[in-house]
Amino acid sequence: MNKDEYVDLPKQLTKPLFDVMMRYPLLEYGRRRFEEGRFGMIANRISVYVSPGGREPPHFRLEYQGTECRFSLGGQECVPMDEVPREIGMYNNDIKEWYKQYRARLIDYYNNLLPSTAPPQARIRSI
């Protein structure tokens, strides 16, 4: 899918995920310690997009540290559509927790992006 067809999620939805990912203790030189015992530089932001284009199943795309992964949108669970890069995979539980908490708002946001001419089956039903 063309990246131009994605729409930024509003900060009130992405900030909680960023906050969860940044909860590890800060060490010197701006580095953070991860639960896995690894060290790494944190990108100054995380990007999350949704795609209302209709050519692919509803999903959101998460970009972090130069990697990206698509996750299905609408199901009860947060399921990756791509192989999850290591940089994102080490936050898998955090992403699932965020998705579970914000699922309804993500679905509403996605549905509101669809054009009024979109068929009813294009909309995701909240359960």
* pLDDT tens digits, 61-110: 888 888 899 999 888 999 999 999 988 888 888 889 899 999 998 888 88
Q: Is 55 a residue whose pLDDT tops 50?
A: yes
According to the model, what pLDDT value does residue 39 have?
Answer: 30
Alpha helices for the chain (secondary structure H): 11-21, 86-89, 92-113
Nearest to 22 by CA among 14, 32, 30: 32
Please tell me the least confidently modeled range out of 18-22, 33-37, 56-60.
33-37
Residues with Cβ within 8 Å of residue 9, at least 6 apart in sequence = 48, 49, 50, 60, 106, 109
Contact 51, 1 (CB under 8 A): yes
In the chain, where the domains are located: 3-113
* pLDDT tens digits, 64-74: 888 899 999 88
More confident of the two residues 58 and 39: 58
pTM of the model: 0.72
